[in-house]
Amino acid sequence: MFSKGIHVTLLLLIASQQIPPSAALSASHVLNRTSKSWHRLSKRGALLARDLRISLHQISGVGFDISSYTPQKVVCARPDTLAFGGDATSTSPATSSAAPTASATPVYQLVESHIGENFFDGWSFFGNVDNATAGAVNYLNEEDAFSSGLITASNADGRTIIKMDTTPRITGYRDSIRITTKNTFTGGVFVLDAYHMPHGCAVWPAFWTNAYTSGQGVNDNTNNQATLHTDTGCTLSSEISTTSTLVETTDCDGNLDSNPGCGYLSTSNMTYGEGFNSNGGGVYAMHWSNDGISVYFFPRGSIPTDIQNGAPTPDSWGTPMAHWSSKTCDIAKFFKSHWVLINTTLCGYWAGNGWNSSGSPGQETSCAVRTGYASCEDFVRNSGSSFSEAYWDIASVKVYQTSRKT
């Protein structure tokens, strides 16, 4: 026997294809009569099936108690009205759409953690001069970094120190550290928890990935700048709500002159430099999804519980410090397989070019006036003790993803 549901569906389909709109009313009556006929036939079929079942049991010799048999109710679905045109309307759709369901909040799982004595496991050391930002530093390899004492990691307090060479006078570049994760990541939540960041004249530290920097500043500035550097085709929307102000240009093309990128300057003087360090630092968190890239800063004492518990929920963090929307920058196109990097350089394109600048938050007078050196490079070579504050004190670096994606 055929399914009743299939018969009804086919009947409606044939009617809708063959009956002209002008015959809608009469067609409806015909269909009603036809449905009633199908109903009567179905009932007769059910009775016939019962009789056959009884007969077959008798032929087979198997006993069958007819008194225990309960006839099955036959139901034929029939629409009350059909929408063929004219005045006829459909009030009972053949199928009902499922109720919309709310999007589930992404669940981020820890995929990489750097903390305590094993902090430096899983990092590569640059081991070369700063050929990326024209800085006046020599980045040490892993062996030299440990033997020089510029890096330490301990389980005793769980803190990692990354320092700058403070030799009083040098003739070349000053030794420093740049580390890069061996693993790459596409999307996720990247969390830096630090008690202290390098600062001071000539100093340019950064916590970043291949293209975007969440925590950085230069010289004596006190307000962090988050910047994005891409290929041609990515711009920053001025309509995005953030807790910062736009700086430089809205064109994120890193191939433009001086490679400014597109960025935001925080309005808080606790996000970098002396203000950050005197408050015991805080947490920088980058949230990268196909919808956009956001940067958040939480000062010590105001770090969300979900971050402290290792279960970040970015949707609960409020307005970001910086945000690049997929509406004006195709995130999936421009951002794939990023490393996480931490480094401290000196002078270079930003700190060096801003040597004579003043008027920015924390930089009321220029470094040239403050130090008495006409050039950033001269200061670096002859004033090693000035870099005693050029160090990182890091609690941890952690990466979370909904599923592992390199």
**Given pLDDT bands bounded at 50, 70 and 90, which one contains residue 104?**
confident
Res 258: pLDDT = 64
Contacts of 3 (CB under 8 A, 6+ apart): none
Residue 272: what pLDDT? 96
Give me the sign of the Cα torsion angle 352, 345, 391, 307: positive
What is the pLDDT averaged over residues 383-397? 98
Quick one: what percent of the chain has pLDDT higher than 70? Answer: 74
End-to-end C-alpha distance for the chain, whole angstroms: 55
Residue 78 pLDDT > 70: no
List C-alpha distances in Å: 148 to 129, 151, 387, 388.
17, 8, 16, 15
pLDDT for position 123: 99
145-168 per-position pLDDT tens digit = 999 999 999 999 999 999 999 999
| pLDDT value of position 103 | 60
Count of CA atoms in the C-beta half-sphere (13 A) of 160: 21
Residues near 351 by Cβ (< 8 Å), separated by ≥ 6?
Answer: 135, 202, 203, 204, 218, 219, 345, 376
pLDDT (tens digit per residue) in 353-378: 999 999 999 999 999 999 999 999 99
Q: Which domains does the chain have, with CATH numbers?
A: 1-93 (no CATH), 109-401 (2.60.120.200)
Evaluate if residue 250 carries a pLDDT over 80: yes
| Angle in degrees, CA 131, 352, 251, rounded to 5 | 75
pLDDT of amino acid 237 = 84
Tens of pLDDT, residues 297-347: 999 999 999 999 999 999 999 999 999 999 999 999 999 999 999 999 999
* Distance from C-alpha of 154 to C-alpha of 307, rounded to nearest angstrom: 22
- pLDDT beyond 70 at 392: yes
| pLDDT surpasses 70 at 13 | no
pLDDT band at 269 (very low <50, low <70, confident <90, very high): very high
